Amino acid sequence: KKLKGKWVCLHVGQRTYPDGGKHKEIMRRTGGVDSEAELERLTNLPKGFSKGHAVALLEIGDTELMEDEVDRCAPHVELGAVATGAAMGKYLTTVKSAHWLLTPGLSMRGFPGVSSIQLPVKLIPDSIRERVINDITAGSSKV
């Protein structure tokens, strides 16, 4: 599916990804977080959100094929993906913008891949609600 220009919901699963803390090591590298407090803020859900919920809307940008693992292991690529080159897939997608849903988000079961969901409009923040609705009704996106 082509996702560029579309809005997708970010679902936080019940399980913690078993990377042994590598994501935090990557975030501490040059160009990453400035402090442990910032690291904690970025790696934990805000108050009112829980695992097993859709918690944010992401506006999707370009997707790039990066077949060579050596290229994916470049420090700037790993920092951008917050994953090691060996652990990430070959397709890297830019997130143009990210916005928290209103708490508590949407409780839902996770599923692999991308699918359409019914997201109550009342969970979309006022600051982006009109734009998201216009994009969806114009046919350029589904949430």
| Alpha-helical segments (H) within 11-53 | 22-27, 36-43
Given this model, what pLDDT does residue 115 score?
87
- Confidence at residue 138, expressed as pLDDT on a 0 to 100 scale: 85
Quote the pLDDT of residue 38. Answer: 97
Write the pLDDT tens digit of every residue in 54-113: 999 999 999 999 999 999 999 999 999 999 999 999 999 999 999 999 999 999 999 888
Mean pLDDT of 24-38: 96
**Spatial CB neighbours of 64, under 8 Å, sequence gap ≥ 6:** 91, 92, 93, 94
- Banded model confidence at residue 143, pLDDT cuts 50, 70, 90: low
Contacts of 121 (CB under 8 A, 6+ apart): 129, 133
The angle subtended at Cα 92 by Cα 79 and Cα 124, nearest 5°, is 90
Q: Please give the DSSP secondary-structure letter assigned to residue 73.
A: T
At 39, phi and psi to the nearest 5? Answer: -60, -45
Confidence of residue 141 (pLDDT cuts 50, 70, 90): low
Q: What's residue 17's pLDDT? A: 83
Q: Other C-beta atoms within 10 Å of 121: how many?
A: 9
The string of pLDDT tens digits covering residues 3-23 is 899 999 999 999 888 899 999
Q: Pull the structure tokens for residue 138.
A: 């114009």
The one-letter code for the residue type at 109 is R
Judge contact between 32 and 60, C-beta under 8 A: no
Using alpha carbons only, what angle is made at residue 120 by residues 2 and 103, rounded to the nearest 5 degrees? Answer: 105
